[in-house]
Amino acid sequence: MLPKHLVAAVIVASLSTGCAVGPDYVRPSVAMPDSFLGQPAVAHRQATATADLVTWWTGFGDPQLTRYVTLALDQNLDLAQAAARVTQARAGLGAANAALLPSGNVSGQAARVYQSVETPLGRLLNSTPGFDRYGNDYEANFNASWELDVFGGLRHGREAALADYQASEAGEVATRLAVAAQTADIYITIRGLQARLQVARKQSQTQQDLLSTIKLLYGKGLAADLQVSQAEGALAQVRASIPVLEAGMDAAMNALDVMLGSQPGTHRAELLEGGDIPSAPRIADTGAPGELLRRRPDLIVAERRLAASNARVGVAIAEYYPKVSLSGLIGSATSVASGNLFSSGASQGAGVLGLRWRLFDFGRINAQINEAKGHEAEMLAAYRLAALHATEDVENSFSALVKREDQAAILAQGVNSLGRARASSFAAYQKGVVSLIEVLQADDSLLRASDERVQAQTESARAAVAAFKALGGGWKPAEAEAVASE
């Protein structure tokens, strides 16, 4: 048997955390500004409603938008994939935890053999009086083994698996936020295209009425053939824009159905009933840039991947040192009779202290350590870059939100002025004061201004969605802290 003091010394050494080799993880600091550049302008926006970051989609005041986002969060297949990745990571963490514990198994067998007498052993046994060529063997054993984590390789492996699991959980939340934002964005795009179609169809009807008037005058000899052709060309130009908008709307409706986890066309009938472009609400709390590090799940993913890569450096360094294991066996074996199994004479046992050391493989170990350190450096750069992109996303969305709302307000004034100008030019044309070309130019200007105003309204609402997404809206900060905690 092994000396008791040796076994005790090995066990004590394995339980001592001070023997763990490799770097300890420290969350890196990231320099962030005190406030966003666009924060003052966003704070002074005029909006009728206010939305909080947790359920920002309800702040648009559109029940259908809220229903679609809720459906997407329940049925979207990207979320199903993210949930499956969390399950896989949880299984990996379970395997890493199990590696730190002893393992055991039970084995048993019963065999009946017929001995050859043409072998040296068979000849020897055959010369024995009463030799029976038939024989039975019975055996039952319990085996146990334990790799003692003396130098912390398994513990670092568990740290890496835990960080991977936390990253997958944060990744699932990031997918939820992306699904909510994309669903809202597609819905707003559909409403914007429907509004643009209304403008184009209204203008088409206006051009059709103008053409009818000119043809009536032409029949009375009061208008030239050139004027009829000009009106027909203007009408065709307006009509040509309608199929393009309809195709874009069909594609957006199909994309929304896919986001909702349903076949394209499922929700088309209810969408075709129409609706207004949702108005962008006020953002209740933009917070400070530093809060993005705990609020945005994609940054938590990047930080947890960095922690996992740091732990894997420790796993690689632990390969420099020997692996120590304990194993043992207790059981019973007999070839006399099955009734003798588990009798005192049939008992057997063994204890083994194992040692495995990659003593002449340090070149390969060095390469593995350098690879792990290189991956850690890559993850550190990725984390810092993700923080920069997060701030950039917020600044860009704030700027787009404010500027697009300013553009929509200016275009609204322009549409009113151009509408009056068009009415005046048509009245002057009927009196013979101006030519038809002035009326057609007024129609074209009014169409372009009306279309641009609708686009500005749509883009301001989409910019609000982008702002909520950039701020990490859609979940509670307490959830973020739970996922990011170690």
Per-residue pLDDT reduced to its tens digit, 234-285: 889 989 999 999 999 999 999 999 999 999 999 999 999 989 999 999 987 8
- Between residues 466 and 113, the one the model is more confident about: 466
Domain 19-101+152-322+367-471 superfamily per CATH = Outer membrane efflux proteins (OEP) (1.20.1600.10)
pLDDT score for 409: 93
pLDDT score for 5: 53
**pTM value?**
0.84
Instruction: Read off the pLDDT band of 132 (50, 70, 90).
Output: confident
In angstroms, the CA 337 to CA 477 distance is 69
Token pair, residue 98, equals 């199990």
> Which residues in 186-249 belong to E strands, given as ranges?
none
pLDDT tens readout for residues 60-101: 999 999 999 999 999 999 889 999 999 999 999 999 998 888
**Of the candidate ranges 47-56, 102-111, 474-483, the one whose mean pLDDT is the lowest:** 474-483
pLDDT score for 479: 52
Is the Cβ–Cβ distance between 17 and 152 less than 8 Å? yes
Q: Distances from the Cα of 381 to the Cαs of 104, 127, 305, 455, in angstroms?
A: 43, 79, 11, 38
Is the Cβ–Cβ distance between 80 and 260 less than 8 Å? no
pLDDT score for 3: 53
Backbone angles phi and psi of 273, in degrees to 5: -65, -15
pLDDT score for 347: 87
pLDDT tens readout for residues 162-181: 999 999 999 999 999 999 99
Q: Is the pLDDT of residue 22 over 90?
A: no
pLDDT score for 387: 94
pLDDT > 90 fraction of the chain, expressed in percent and rounded: 52
In angstroms, the CA 481 to CA 486 distance is 10
Domain ranges across the chain: 19-101+152-322+367-471, 103-148+323-356
Backbone angles phi and psi of 310, in degrees to 5: -65, -40
In angstroms, the CA 84 to CA 77 distance is 11
- Max intra-chain CA distance, the chain: 139
Same fold, 19-101+152-322+367-471 and 103-148+323-356: no
Contacts of residue 136, defined as CB under 8 A and 6 or more positions apart, other chains included, come to 110, 111, 112, 113, 335, 337, 338
Summary mean pLDDT of the chain: 88
Overall fold of domain 103-148+323-356: Outer membrane efflux proteins (OEP) (2.20.200)
Q: Is the pLDDT of residue 483 over 60?
A: no
pLDDT tens readout for residues 187-205: 999 999 999 999 999 888 8
In angstroms, the CA 201 to CA 53 distance is 38
Residues in the chain: 486
Instruction: Read off the pLDDT band of 486 (50, 70, 90).
Output: very low
